[in-house]
Amino acid sequence: MTVVLHAEPALEVAGVFFAALSGGLSAVRKHLDVFGVLVLAGTTGLGGGMLRDVLIGATPPVGITDPVLVATALLSGVAIWFFHPGIARMRRGVVVLDAGALGLFVIVGTTKGLQYDAGMLASVIVGTLTGIGGGVLRDVLTGEVPLVLQDRQLYAVPALLGAGATVLLWHEGWLAAWSATLVALGVIAFRLLSLWRGWVLPDAAQAAWPGPWNGGRRSR
Amino acid sequence: MTVVLHAEPALEVAGVFFAALSGGLSAVRKHLDVFGVLVLAGTTGLGGGMLRDVLIGATPPVGITDPVLVATALLSGVAIWFFHPGIARMRRGVVVLDAGALGLFVIVGTTKGLQYDAGMLASVIVGTLTGIGGGVLRDVLTGEVPLVLQDRQLYAVPALLGAGATVLLWHEGWLAAWSATLVALGVIAFRLLSLWRGWVLPDAAQAAWPGPWNGGRRSR
Amino acid sequence: MTVVLHAEPALEVAGVFFAALSGGLSAVRKHLDVFGVLVLAGTTGLGGGMLRDVLIGATPPVGITDPVLVATALLSGVAIWFFHPGIARMRRGVVVLDAGALGLFVIVGTTKGLQYDAGMLASVIVGTLTGIGGGVLRDVLTGEVPLVLQDRQLYAVPALLGAGATVLLWHEGWLAAWSATLVALGVIAFRLLSLWRGWVLPDAAQAAWPGPWNGGRRSR
Q: Which residues contact C56 (CB under 8 A, 6 or more apart)?
A: A59, A60, C112, C113, C116, C118, C122, C126
Q: Say if the Cβ atoms of B34 and A148 lie within 8 Å.
A: no
Chain C residues touching A93 at Cβ < 8 A: none
Instruction: Read off the pLDDT band of A213 (50, 70, 90).
Output: low
pLDDT value at residue A1: 46
pLDDT of residue C112: 96
Relative orientation angle of helices B156-171 and B177-197, to the nearest 10 degrees: 160
- Check whether B93 has a pLDDT greater than 90: no
Q: Which residues pair with C203 in a beta bridge?
A: A33
Question: How sure is the predictor about B1, in pLDDT bands with cuts at 50, 70 and 90?
Answer: very low
Is the pLDDT at A44 greater than 50? The verdict is yes
Contact call for B203 and C31, based on CB within 8 A: yes
Nearest to A36 among C149, C205, C209 (CB): C149
What is the structure's pLDDT at B220? Answer: 44
Distance from CA of C64 to the nearest CA of A (A): 18
Chain B hits for C41, CB-CB cut-off 8 Å, are none
Q: What is the mean pLDDT of chain A?
A: 91
Q: How confident is the model at residue B8 (pLDDT cuts 50, 70, 90)?
A: low
Task: Tell whether the model's pLDDT for residue C163 goes beyond 90.
Answer: yes
Q: What is the pLDDT of residue C143?
A: 95
Q: How many contacts, defined by CB atoms under 8 Å, are there between A and C?
A: 114
Determine the pLDDT at residue B204: 74
The CA distance from C104 to the nearest CA of chain B, in Å, is 23
Q: Which uninterrupted H or E stretch holds C146?
A: none
Is there a contact between C39 and B119 if contact means CB atoms under 8 Å apart?
Answer: no
Query: Confidence class of residue B215 from pLDDT cuts 50, 70 and 90?
Result: low
Q: For residue B213, name the pLDDT band (cuts at 50, 70, 90).
A: low
pLDDT value of position B200? 92
Q: What percent of chain C shows pLDDT beyond 90?
A: 80
Closest CA–CA distance from residue A66 to any residue of chain C (Å): 8
Cα–Cα distance measured from residue A219 to residue B85, given in angstroms and rounded to the nearest whole number: 6
CB pairs A-B closer than 8 Å: 114
Closest-CA distance of chain C to residue A200, Å? 29
Find, in chain C, the residue whose alpha carbon is nearest to that of A63.
Answer: C122
A89 reaches B (C-beta below 8 A): no
Output the pLDDT for position B216. Answer: 57
**Domain regions of chain B by residue span:** 2-199
Distance CA B205, CA B217 (A): 12
Mean pLDDT of A92-112: 93
C141 at interface of B, judged by CB pairs closer than 8 A: yes
Minimum-distance CB partner of C37 among B116, B119, B204? B204
> Is A86 touching C (CB cutoff 8 A)?
yes
- A98, A17 contact by CB (below 8 A): no
pLDDT at C8 over 70: no
With bands split at pLDDT 50, 70 and 90, how would you rate the model's confidence at C92?
confident
Whole-number pLDDT of residue B62: 96
pLDDT averaged over every residue in chain B = 91
- The pLDDT tens digits for C181-196 are 999 999 999 999 999 9
C67: chain B residues, CB-CB within 8 Å: 121
Lowest mean pLDDT among A155-159, B1-5, B214-218: B1-5
Residue B12 has a pLDDT of: 86
Confidence class for position A32, pLDDT limits 50, 70, 90: very high
Q: How far apart are CA C140 and CA C142, in angstroms?
A: 5
ipTM of predicted complex = 0.91
H or E, element range at C70 = helix C67-89
The whole-angstrom distance between C102's CA and the closest CA on chain A is 17
A 10 A CB-CB count for A202 gives 12
Which residues, in sequence order, are CB contacts of C174 under 8 Å at separation 6+? none
Residue B90 pLDDT:
87
pLDDT of res. C217: 52
Angle at C102 between CA C106 and CA C115, to 5 degrees: 15
Q: Does C46 touch chain B (CB under 8 A)?
A: no
* pLDDT confidence of residue B3: 42
Percent of the residues in chain A that have a pLDDT greater than 70, as a whole number? 90
Q: What percent of chain A has pLDDT over 90?
A: 80
User: In this predicted model, what pLDDT tens digit does every residue of A127-136 receive, in sequence order?
Assistant: 999 999 999 9
Would you say residue C216 has pLDDT above 60? no
Q: How far is CA A97 from the centre of its chain?
A: 12
pLDDT by residue (tens digit) across A168-181?
999 999 999 999 99
Residue C212 has what pLDDT? 63
Contact call for residues C82 and B207 (beta carbons, < 8 A): yes
CB distance C35–B151 less than 8 Å? no
Contacts of A200 in chain B (CB under 8 A): 33
Q: Is the pLDDT of residue A121 over 70?
A: yes
Residues 6 or more apart from A158 whose CB is under 8 A from it?
A: A102, A103, A186, A187, A188, A190, A191, A194
pLDDT exceeds cutoff 50 at B132: yes
What average pLDDT does chain C have?
91
Separation of alpha carbons A122 and A43, rounded Å: 22
The neighbour count for residue A54, using CB atoms within 10 Å, is 23
User: Where on the phi/psi map is residue C117: left (φ > 0), alpha (ψ -120 to 50), or beta?
Assistant: left
Q: Which residues from chain C sit within 8 angstroms of residue B119, using beta carbons?
A: 60, 65
The nearest alpha carbon in chain B to A219 belongs to B85
Mean pLDDT (whole number) for A191-215 = 81
Contact C57 A57 (CB under 8 A): yes
State mean pLDDT over B76-101. 90
- Window 51-80 of A: residues touching B by CB (8 A cutoff) are 54-57
**Binary contact (C65, B207; C-beta < 8 A):** no
DSSP-H helix ranges across B60-155: 62-65, 67-89, 91-115, 120-141, 147-150
A216 in reach of chain B (CB within 8 A): no
pLDDT-derived band at B27 (thresholds 50, 70, 90) equals very high
| pLDDT tens track for B148-202 | 999 999 999 999 999 999 999 999 999 999 999 999 999 999 999 999 999 999 9
How much is the pLDDT for C158?
A: 96
Which H or E run contains C123? helix C120-141
pLDDT confidence bin for A216, thresholds 50/70/90: low
Among the partner-chain residues A55, A144, A220, the one whose CB lies closest to the CB of B64 is A55
A172 contacts chain C (CB < 8 A): no
- Answer whether B64 sits within 8 Å of A126, measured CB to CB: yes
**B66 → chain A, closest CA residue:** A121
Query: How far C86 CA sits from the closest chain A CA (Å)?
Result: 30
Question: Could you tell me what percent of chain B has a pLDDT over 70?
Answer: 90
Q: What is the pLDDT of residue C220?
A: 43
| C37 reaches B (C-beta below 8 A) | yes
With an 8 Å Cβ cutoff, are B85 and A220 in contact?
Answer: yes
Would you call C30 an interface residue with chain B, using a CB distance cutoff of 8 Å? yes
* Burial class (CB within 10 angstroms; exposed 0-12, middle 13-18, buried 19+) of B174: exposed
List CB contacts (< 8 A) between C203 and chain A. Answer: 31-34
Q: Given pLDDT bands bounded at 50, 70 and 90, which one contains residue C88?
A: confident
With CA atoms as reference, the chain A residue closest to B35 would be: A149
Closest partner residue to B60 among A55, A136, A148, by Cβ? A55
| A31 inside 8 A of chain C by CB | yes
What would the pLDDT profile of C95-152 be if each residue is shown by its tens digit?
Answer: 889 999 999 999 999 999 999 999 999 999 999 999 999 999 999 999 999 999 999 9
pLDDT for A219: 46
